């Protein structure tokens, strides 16, 4: 086989609307996701796809800046690629993990196309045909002109979970918290868990709780059918104290996202379940490597979501397909999207899971018309103030239990 060389790297930033504005501890997804797609082309005409979150013009500039650096690079040389883009020995000067991930996705896609095999075969072969997902529920604002989705109360949350359970088949339900006072979110979470007692549940307040709040909340949900308690507080020391006191497995996608942090957690355990994100860890291959370490050290793993479109979702599916120690349903924001940029439209949930693509490489291709449409929407709307929630203008300086958002406040979001 003739070796290939990279000849071009093209970024395109797109905006894809959400069904509702998703609220979380650190602000609000403003009714849309901004993602940057990349296309890596070789001298033999193959085009590999990658994706990273947000960024807009800055992400595009960073991607374009890689071309002179990577022109002529062999897309099969992905280990050499890691050292070129994100040299771990120069980490003080180099914060390029998501750029590396996006280019790695594209190179793996090219490798699969060149060899006419799906990505999972390059990773050791698939162990499952479908990857299960959790419902991933948020407190939300309805968006003007779209299907009305307003989730603030226990009844509204239960209704949202039931609708997703019936339409998509989810049997595991995750609530993103840190928006309302802990007592209110506790009532909501317990109502959801008690509505579906045979299903699994998980809670993630995005590190918004103080240690005292995290301990109180954890003890109050300990009797439920919990998968894990995700990032109730920030930092390994805080997570360690929660783990020792509460008795629910802890999970993170914030404080164990590098191999150095994984080693620290193995030496002095604070987190039981490592949530592997193909962007945050720098690609699919690092996630497979981390999963192997977790298997050896008896840590759980799950696949994490960072607000994906179909390209990144494909990487998540291939990752989930090959991990022997995948013990939990994956996260995905995917069902909150109104559209996707891949041919065939959004991937379909069946029985709470999505089938792993079997085509060469990632197994997905871009719908050029949809890419153009959503790129134009990005140019029209621009980026978004990710950390601003209209009902919580001072969320970063709030006093716990006093200045949190009022669950009675109604607000209709306008793009």
Distances (CA, A) of 212 to 179, 188, 251: 17, 20, 18
Catalytic residues: 176, 304
Q: DSSP class of residue 87?
A: -
Shortest CA distance to 323 belongs to which of 107, 131, 65? 131
Report residue 254 as tokens.
């914030």
Q: How big, in percent rounded to 5, are the helix, strand and coil portions of the chain?
A: 40, 20, 40
**Cα 279 from Cα 327, distance rounded (Å):** 20
Name the residue with tokens 């799950």: 302
**What's the first-to-final CA gap in the chain, in angstroms?**
50
Shortest CA distance to 170 belongs to which of 204, 203, 196? 196
| CB-CB neighbours of 371 under 10 Å | 16
Shortest CA distance to 32 belongs to which of 49, 20, 46? 20
Report residue 253 as tokens.
């996608």
Q: Say if CB 125 and CB 322 are below 8 A apart.
A: yes
């Amino acid at each position: 086989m003739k070796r290939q060389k990279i000849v071009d790297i093209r970024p395109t930033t797109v905006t894809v609307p959400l069904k509702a504005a998703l609220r979380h501890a650190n602000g609000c997804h403003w009714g849309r996701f901004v993602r940057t797609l990349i296309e890596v082309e070789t001298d033999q005409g193959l085009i590999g796809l990658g994706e990273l979150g947000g960024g807009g013009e800055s992400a595009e500039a960073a991607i374009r800046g890689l071309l002179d650096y990577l022109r002529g690079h062999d897309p099969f040389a992905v280990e050499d690629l890691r050292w070129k883009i994100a040299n771990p020995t120069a980490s003080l000067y180099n914060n390029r993990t998501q750029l590396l991930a996006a280019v790695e996705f594209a190179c793996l896609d090219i490798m699969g196309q060149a060899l006419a095999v799906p990505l999972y075969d390059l990773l050791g072969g698939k162990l499952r045909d479908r990857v299960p997902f959790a419902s991933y529920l948020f407190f939300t604002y309805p968006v003007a002109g779209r299907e009305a989705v307003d989730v603030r109360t226990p009844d509204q949350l239960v209704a949202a979970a039931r609708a997703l359970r019936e339409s998509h088949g989810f049997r595991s339900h995750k609530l993103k918290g840190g928006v309302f006072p802990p007592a209110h979110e506790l009532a909501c979470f317990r109502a959801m868990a008690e509505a579906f007692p045979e299903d699994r549940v998980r809670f993630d307040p995005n590190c918004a709780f103080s240690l005292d709040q995290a301990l109180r909340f954890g003890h109050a949900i300990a009797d439920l059918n919990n998968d894990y308690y995700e990032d109730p507080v920030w930092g390994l020391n805080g997570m360690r104290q929660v783990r020792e006191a509460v008795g629910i497995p802890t999970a993170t996608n914030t404080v164990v996202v590098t191999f150095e942090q994984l080693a620290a957690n193995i030496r002095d355990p604070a987190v039981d379940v490592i949530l592997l994100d193909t962007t945050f860890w720098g690609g699919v291959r690092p996630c497979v490597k981390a999963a192997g370490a977790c298997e050896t050290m008896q840590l759980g793993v799950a696949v994490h979501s960072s607000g994906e479109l179909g390209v990144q979702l494909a990487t998540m599916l291939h990752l989930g397909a090959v991990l022997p120690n995948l013990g939990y349903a994956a996260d995905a924001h995917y069902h909150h999207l109104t559209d996707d940029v891949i041919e065939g439209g959004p991937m379909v949930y069946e029985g709470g899971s999505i089938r792993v693509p079997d085509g060469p490489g990632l197994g997905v291709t871009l719908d050029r018309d949809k890419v153009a449409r959503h790129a134009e929407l990005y140019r029209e709307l621009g980026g978004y103030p990710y950390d601003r929630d209209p009902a919580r203008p001072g969320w970063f300086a709030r006093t716990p239990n006093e200045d949190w958002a009022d669950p009675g406040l109604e607000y209709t979001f306008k793009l």
